Amino acid sequence: MMQSQQYNSAANANPTQRYMIGVDVGGTKIEAVLLDDAAQVLAIARVPARRGADLVVEDIATLARTVGADHWDDVAQVGIGIPGQVDWKTGQVGHVVNLDIVELDLADQVSAQLGGIPVHVENDVNAAAVGAAAVLHEDEEAIAFLNLGTGLAVGLINNGRIMHGASGSAGEIGHIPIDPNRFECPCGQRGCLETVCSGSAVAQLWPTDDGRPPMPDLIARARAGEPAAQRVLAKVKHALGDAVQIVAQAVDPNTIIVGGGMARTGQPLLDAMSEELSARAANCAFLESLQLPARLKLAPADEPTGAIGAALAARV
């Protein structure tokens, strides 16, 4: 597990050890890190994301060479975390909408660009789960990473290994159609959880005119007694409570790490989620016994957790 973060300190590393590179591919930026055997971050680099399969492959390879330059001959593997449909066994990805990728043999193409170095590809939420657990020194038997980003999904770790499921879709709770508002979802269903409690959903339910993130503004104005904000926050909190209960009662993790863009709201978000869970538990001895608010923990906001997790996932 990760011990510390030592940025740009590769010159102090042990020359006999092997190194890992992790790359986090997002819709707006691509970020890469170099890790040593102890999972310390030795170098970090990022570039704006460019759309198109060839450009994504080129940018990943360029960043990998950049962070691994001082130790290239000792790089053991490269891990990549990317959104969309990911076959972690073959390294093929598909339907990465924000990057105009329909289908791509990502692992083989990046490996070819890097001279044959082994490349492992993970779904970005799974990679973030591994990285957040490492940065937070969470080594319990079962950990869940609740990603409140553009969509809603969960990364699940059991005994140090990612739970992929039979088709690789384990943790895709955002498209469970149980929300009573019955909003239409791009997936074709109605009432999917991510139509209410994802970052993009909150931005639609509570748009801000000045470019501020909607969730902090929504919570602050609801706390100030604004009726419209209170109504919207009640919807969001209800869906968040459903998401936590689904995760907790399906896989019973020791810790539920809350991450993604909406998690940058910080403690006010955790407080809102805890209020909802406590209110539910007030009338249910079973829920009270689960102590769900105590399991919640914020993901580190300023660490390259996605890239770190991509590197560590390649190792296991």
* Confidence class for position 316, pLDDT limits 50, 70, 90: low
Q: Domain check: are 184 and 253 in the same one?
A: yes
Checking if the pLDDT of 193 tops 70, the result is yes
Number of domains forming the structure of the chain: 2
Rounded CA-CA distance 80/31 in Å is 10
Q: Could you give the percent of the chain with pLDDT greater than 90?
A: 84
Question: Which domain does 104 fall in, by range?
Answer: 10-128+303-315
- Asked if residue 4 is part of any domain, the answer here is no
Element (H, E) at 158: strand 152-158
Whether the Cβ atoms of residue 179 and residue 196 lie closer than 8 Å to each other: yes
With respect to residue 124, please indicate whether it lies within any of the assigned structural domains.
Answer: yes
- The pLDDT tens digits for 234-270 are 999 999 999 999 999 999 999 999 999 999 999 999 9
Is the per-residue pLDDT at 142 higher than 90?
yes
86 has pLDDT over 60: yes
Instruction: Quote the pTM value.
Output: 0.90
- Output the pLDDT for position 167: 86
Q: Is residue 5 included in any domain, yes or no? A: no
In the structure, what pLDDT confidence band is assigned to residue 3 with cuts at 50, 70 and 90? very low
267 shares its domain with 310: no
pLDDT band at 141 (very low <50, low <70, confident <90, very high): confident
Q: What is the structure's pLDDT at 41?
A: 95
Same domain, 266 and 213: yes
Q: What are phi and psi of 109, to 5 degrees?
A: -70, -40
CATH number of the domain that 157 lies in? 3.30.420.40
CB 86 within 8 A of CB 93: yes
- Asked if residue 157 and residue 81 are part of one domain, the reply reads no
| Domain assignment of residue 99, yes or no | yes
> Does 249 fall in a domain?
yes
Domain match, 47 and 146 both: no
- Is the model's pLDDT at 171 over the cut of 70? yes
Structural domain includes residue 242 = yes
The answer to whether residue 3 sits within a structural domain is: no
